[in-house]
Structure 1
Amino acid sequence: MTAAARDPVPEGSLARGASPATVHGHLPEPERSRFLAEYEAALDHARGTLDLAPVLDLVERYRAIAIAQSDPEAFRRGVRRWAEIVTGEPVPDDEPFEVTRTKAGI
């Protein structure tokens, strides 16, 4: 019995099944550093358990993050709006983006 053939994901594409290297390449900081740290930890765990599911789940989660951040201005607007919803207060125009992200829990 053989595994079902999968359509290859075009190189550089963020389509489902994108490689860890592709996902990493599309992430801005600080997500890129977080991805590497979490990916290394997931690989270490996989070596001991022989279970790649957590590694694949991690890559998929960060693939979604890369897609969400592919339009930086839309991402910033979304984070600002989410911070306003979470806090119930408007975000000041001069607030540093990392502060807004923290308020939004992102």
Structure 2
Amino acid sequence: MTASLPGEREDEHSLAQGASPAAIHAALLPADREVFLAAYGAALDRARSMLHLAPVHELLEEWRRRAILQSDPAAFRRSVRRAAEFFSGEPVPDDEPFEVTRARAGM
């Protein structure tokens, strides 16, 4: 049994449901998993130097939102396509690689 600080329970944390690193990693598209792991490592390093978990929590929340968007790959592809068309003001060619479309959308 581990001791808790006053007002703190072991099962309490400030993360939203689905915001564990493992849950986020599993929900991301394969192309984003390594990017997430690198960003997570950097956030852990910042948290260690600051002695505060804020950088980790902020990163996890940002990537949790991305994982939610990517949880339906077909819907995510449609959203990326619409965003690319909106930002570029031009239709996306049917044969354009997804990563190119995604870069144009800034996603």
- Name the TM-score, length of structure 2 as normaliser: 0.84
The aligned residue for residue 69 of structure 1 is 70
Deviation at 1:18, TM superposition (A): 2.8
Count of matched residue positions in the alignment of Structure 1 and Structure 2 = 100
- The one-letter code of the counterpart of 2:32 is E
The aligned residue for residue 35 of structure 1 is 36
Give 4+ residue runs of structure 1 displaced > 4 Å after superposition. Answer: none
Give the Cα–Cα distance (whole angstroms) in 1 for the partners of residues 69 and 22 of structure 2. Answer: 17
The aligned residue for residue 20 of structure 2 is 19
Deviation at 1:51, TM superposition (A): 1.3
Deviation at 1:2, TM superposition (A): 1.5
Give the Cα–Cα distance (whole angstroms) in 1 for the partners of residues 18 and 101 of structure 2. Answer: 31
Using CA pairs under 8 Å that are at least 6 residues apart, name the structure with larger relative contact order, 1 or 2. 2
Query: For 2:25, what is the secondary structure of its paired residue?
Result: helix
Which moved further from structure 2: 18-27 or 55-64?
18-27
Question: Which structure has the larger Rg?
Answer: 2
Aligned-pair identity in percent equals 58
Deviation at 1:38, TM superposition (A): 0.5
Query: For 1:30, what is the secondary structure of its paired residue?
Result: helix
- The one-letter code of the counterpart of 2:57 is L
Deviation at 1:17, TM superposition (A): 5.6
The aligned residue for residue 3 of structure 1 is 8
Query: For 1:25, what is the secondary structure of its paired residue?
Result: helix
- Name the TM-score, length of structure 1 as normaliser: 0.85
Give the Cα–Cα distance (whole angstroms) in 2 for the partners of residues 38 and 18 of structure 1. Answer: 14
**Structure 1: any 5+ residue segments left out of the alignment?**
10-14
Query: For 1:89, what is the secondary structure of its paired residue?
Result: coil
User: Aligned-residue CA RMSD in angstroms?
Assistant: 1.9
The aligned residue for residue 104 of structure 1 is 105
The aligned residue for residue 12 of structure 1 is none
Deviation at 1:25, TM superposition (A): 1.5
CA distances 1:59-98 after superposition (whole Å, capped 9, x unpaired): 1111111110111111001100000000000000011001
